Amino acid sequence: MDIELYALLSTVILVSTIITLVFALFSYLAFRYRQSGRRSAAVETMAGPAEVARPMFFRRHEGAGY
């Protein structure tokens, strides 16, 4: 394959990857922003009130199975 074609295709791939990553990062930041605004509101959750964030490595041993 021609070396210019390689350069062109690799540029397309890289630009696409970077755009996707930046888009994902902004999606996450927007999500965090929305979540922070929601904290004080009364939220009815499908998961139920018992389901809160669970610590991974510094878990307090509470509840069944932990």
Partner 1 sequence: MNRRIAQLLFSVLAIGLVVVAVLLLFGSFRLTRLELTDIFLFSSTMVLFVFLLTLVLRYLALLVLAFLQHLRYANRSKELTEYPSVTVVVPAYNEERVIEACIRSVMELDYPNLETIVVDDGSSDHTYYVASKLIERYGSDRLRVLTQPNSGKATALNHGISHARGEILLCVDADSRLEPDAVLKAIPNFNDPTIGAVAGNVRVANRRNLLTRLQALEYIEGLNLVRAAQAVVGRVAVVPGPVGFFRKTVMDEIGGYTTDTYAEDCELTLRIMLSGWKIQYEPQAIAWTEAPEDARALFQQRYRWGRGILQAINKHRGQLLRPAPDPLSWAMLWMLAFESVALPAMDIIGMLVFIFAGITGGLSPLIVLWWVQLAILDTVIAMYCVVLDREDVTLPVYAVLYRLYFVPFVDLMRFFAWLDELFEIRMGWLRLERLGRI
Site of interaction with partner 1 (CB under 8 A): 1, 3, 6-7, 9-11, 13-14, 16-18, 20-21, 23-25, 27-28, 30-32, 35, 38-39, 43-58, 63-66
Find the shortest distance in angstroms from Cβ 39 to partner 1: 8
Calpha distance 28→30 (Å, rounded): 5
Q: Helix, strand or coil for residue 53?
A: coil
Residue 31, token pair as written in the block: 């999500």
Find the shortest distance in angstroms from Cβ 41 to partner 1: 10
Find the shortest distance in angstroms from Cβ 60 to partner 1: 8
Are 45 and 51 contacting, i.e. CB atoms less than 8 angstroms apart? yes
